[in-house]
C-alpha cells in the first residue's frame, strides 16, 4: 500500500510539472506572436475607426529619428467647408506659434456646390498626431468624413549621422592638405592643385552642413496638410444623397432629350418650310395647268 501511494504521488508531481511547462511555453508563444505595442490600435482609435470617420490608430512613435509628414483628405457638404477650415485654423492658433503655425491656405469655388480647399500646418511633433485626430473629429461633427490619410516618414536621424561622418572625413582631408601646403619646397602646380582640392572640400562641407540643418529642422517640426472637398458623399452617408442623385439624373435626361429634339427640329425646319411652300404653290398652280390641258386644240381649217 505504501509503495502504491508513493507511485501515485510521483505521477501527480510529474503531471503538475508538465502542466506548468506547457503554460510557460504557451505564454512565451503568445508573447512572441503579439504585435509590438507601437503597432497596436488603441481603444479610442478603434471606436473612431468603427465610426467611419478616423484613420487607423497606428502610433508612429516607434521610429526615433524619423521625420513624419501627415496628409488628410476630407469630404463634406460644400456649405460646411469654410466653417471647418476656420475651426481647424483656430485650433492651430490656440496652440500658439511655438507649437503650431499655419503655412498655407487655399479656398476655391470650382462650380456651383463644389468647393476645393486646403490648409497646411507646421506642428510640434509631439502634438501632431492628436491635432490630426482633433481635425478629423471636427470634420465628422460637420457631417463630413475622412476619405484618405497618409503618414510618410524620412529617416532624418540617419541623414544627420551620415552628415556627421562626412563632415569628419572632410575635416581630416582638409587638415592633411593644409599641413601639406605649409611644408616648404612644394611646386606652384602642386600648390594650385592642393588649393583647388581645398576649395572643393569647403564647398562639400557647406553642402553637408546644409543637409544636416535641414534634417534637424525636419525633426523639430512636422508638416500636416488638410485637404477639403465637396461633392457626392458615400452612398448612405447622407440621407439626401440617393433622392438628390435620382432627381439630378432624371433632370439631366429630360434636358438632354429636349436638347436633341431642338437640334433635330432646327435642322429639319427649313426643309419642312420649303416643302410646305412648294405644296401650297402646287395647289395654286394645279387648276390652271389642268385647265390648259383640257382646252381643245384649234384646227387649221377653223382658222381659214
At 191 the pLDDT is: 87
At 70 the pLDDT is: 92
* 195 within a domain of the structure (yes/no): yes
* 201 within a domain of the structure (yes/no): yes
Out of 35-39, 106-110, 203-207, which region has the weakest mean confidence (pLDDT)? 35-39
C-alpha cell, 25? 511555453
C-alpha cell, 74? 476630407
Distance CA 152, CA 225 (A): 12
Distance CA 68, CA 245 (A): 40
Q: Please give the tally of structural domains in the chain.
A: 1
* Residue count (the chain): 304
- Residue 96 scores a pLDDT above 50: yes
Torsion angle defined by CA atoms of residues 280, 285, 289 and 295, in that order, rounded to the nearest 10 degrees: 130
At 196 the pLDDT is: 92
At 225 the pLDDT is: 95
Of the spans 47-56, 58-67, 158-167, which averages the highest pLDDT?
Answer: 158-167
137 pLDDT tier (thresholds 50, 70, 90): very high
**In this structure, are residues 148 and 74 in contact, taking their beta carbons and an 8 Å threshold?**
no
C-alpha cell, 226? 488638410
* 179 within a domain of the structure (yes/no): yes
Distance CA 194, CA 178 (A): 8
* 204 within a domain of the structure (yes/no): yes
* 278 within a domain of the structure (yes/no): no
- Residue 35 scores a pLDDT above 70: no
At 297 the pLDDT is: 56
**How far from 105 is each of 120, 121, 147, CA to CA, in Å?**
6, 9, 20
**CA end-to-end span of the chain:** 174
Out of 31-35, 95-99, 162-166, which region has the weakest mean confidence (pLDDT)? 31-35
- Residue 237 scores a pLDDT above 80: no
Q: Which residue has the higher pLDDT, 10 or 195?
A: 195
Please choose, from the candidates 30, 161, 138, 42, the residue with its C-alpha nearest in 3D space to the C-alpha of residue 83. 138
> What mean pLDDT is reported for the chain?
75
Q: Look up the domain containing 168 and give its range.
A: 158-218
* 172 within a domain of the structure (yes/no): yes
Of the spans 13-22, 74-83, 269-278, which averages the highest pLDDT?
Answer: 74-83
At 183 the pLDDT is: 87
At 56 the pLDDT is: 54
* 28 within a domain of the structure (yes/no): no
* 41 within a domain of the structure (yes/no): no
Q: Which residue has the higher pLDDT, 112 or 89?
A: 89
Distance CA 40, CA 3 (A): 55
Amino acid at each position: 500500500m505504501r509503495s502504491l501511494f508513493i507511485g501515485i504521488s510521483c505521477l501527480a508531481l510529474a503531471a503538475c510539472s508538465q502542466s506548468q511547462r506547457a503554460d510557460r511555453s504557451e505564454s512565451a508563444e503568445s508573447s512572441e506572436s503579439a504585435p509590438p505595442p507601437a503597432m497596436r490600435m488603441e481603444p479610442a482609435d478603434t471606436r473612431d475607426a468603427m465610426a467611419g470617420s478616423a484613420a487607423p490608430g497606428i502610433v508612429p512613435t516607434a521610429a526615433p529619428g524619423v521625420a513624419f509628414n501627415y496628409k488628410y483628405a476630407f469630404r463634406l457638404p460644400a456649405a460646411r467647408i469654410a466653417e471647418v477650415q476656420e475651426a481647424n485654423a483656430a485650433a492651430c492658433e490656440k496652440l500658439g506659434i511655438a507649437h503650431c503655425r499655419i503655412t498655407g491656405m487655399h479656398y476655391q469655388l470650382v462650380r456651383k456646390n463644389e468647393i476645393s480647399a486646403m490648409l497646411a500646418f507646421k506642428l510640434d511633433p509631439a502634438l501632431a498626431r492628436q491635432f490630426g485626430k482633433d481635425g478629423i473629429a471636427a470634420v465628422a461633427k460637420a457631417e463630413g468624413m475622412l476619405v484618405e490619410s497618409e503618414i510618410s516618414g524620412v529617416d532624418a536621424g540617419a541623414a544627420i549621422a551620415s552628415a556627421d561622418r562626412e563632415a569628419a572625413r572632410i575635416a581630416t582631408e582638409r587638415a592633411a592638405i593644409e599641413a601639406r601646403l605649409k611644408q616648404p619646397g612644394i611646386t606652384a602646380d602642386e600648390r594650385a592643385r592642393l588649393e583647388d582640392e581645398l576649395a572643393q572640400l569647403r564647398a562639400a562641407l557647406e553642402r553637408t552642413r546644409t543637409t544636416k540643418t535641414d534634417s534637424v529642422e525636419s525633426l523639430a517640426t512636422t508638416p500636416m496638410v488638410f485637404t477639403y472637398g465637396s461633392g457626392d458623399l458615400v452612398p448612405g452617408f447622407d440621407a439626401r444623397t440617393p433622392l438628390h442623385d435620382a432627381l439630378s439624373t432624371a433632370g439631366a435626361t429630360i434636358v438632354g432629350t429636349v436638347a436633341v429634339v431642338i437640334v433635330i427640329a432646327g435642322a429639319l425646319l427649313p426643309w419642312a418650310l420649303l416643302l410646305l411652300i412648294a405644296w401650297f404653290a402646287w395647289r395654286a398652280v394645279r387648276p390652271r395647268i389642268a385647265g390648259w390641258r383640257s382646252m381643245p386644240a384649234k384646227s387649221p381649217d377653223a382658222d381659214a
